[in-house]
């Protein structure tokens, strides 16, 4: 996707609220999607993934929704906690052929959770 420079989208929530982070992916051929969490000074940390044959997948406090028609992903975090504050990235992958090893990242969303 295109870079939009230094101004990442931001989401501010109160502790205990539910958070929804959205992502538009770029390639209609992508068939594997991942959400990563990145805390300051650290590498991305895997949260949850989903394949294109599913439209919803749930983990512990997190749910990923996939809408292939409009090429849209969302990450829902239930009962958001201050420790959830981070930058969240979606990533897409084409799981076949020469593109198998490639993961393309979105620009990221800054989530801030206020106590």
Partner 1 sequence: NAGVTQTPKFQVLKTGQSMTLQCAQDMNHEYMSWYRQDPGMGLRLIHYSVGAGITDQGEVPNGYNVSRSTTEDFPLRLLSAAPSQTSVYFCASRRGDYGYTFGSGTRLTVV
Q: Work out the number of other CB atoms within 10 angstroms of the CB of residue 16.
A: 11
Query: 8, 11, 75: which is closest to 37 by C-alpha?
Result: 75
Shortest separation between residue 55's beta carbon and partner 1, angstroms:
18
18 half-sphere exposure, CB direction, 13 A CA radius: 8
Beta carbon nearer to partner 1, 14 or 98: 98
CA–CA dist 40, 52 (Å, integer): 30
Shortest separation between residue 78's beta carbon and partner 1, angstroms:
21
Beta carbon nearer to partner 1, 54 or 79: 54
Beta carbon nearer to partner 1, 12 or 45: 45
Residues that bind partner 1 (CB under 8 A): 1, 3, 5-8, 32, 34, 36, 41-46, 49, 89, 91, 95, 98, 100-108
Shortest separation between residue 26's beta carbon and partner 1, angstroms:
12
């Amino acid at each position: 996707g295109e870079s939009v420079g230094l101004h990442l989208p931001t989401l501010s929530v109160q502790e205990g609220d539910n958070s929804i982070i959205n992502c538009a992916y770029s390639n209609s051929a992508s068939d594997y999607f991942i959400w990563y969490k990145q805390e300051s000074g650290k590498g991305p940390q895997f949260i949850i993934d989903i394949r294109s044959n599913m439209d919803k997948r749930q983990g512990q406090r997190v749910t990923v929704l996939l809408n292939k028609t409009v090429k849209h992903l969302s990450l829902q975090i239930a009962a958001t906690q201050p420790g959830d504050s981070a930058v969240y990235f979606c990533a897409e992958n084409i799981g076949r052929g020469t593109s198998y090893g490639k993961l393309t990242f979105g620009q990221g969303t800054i989530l801030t959770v206020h106590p």
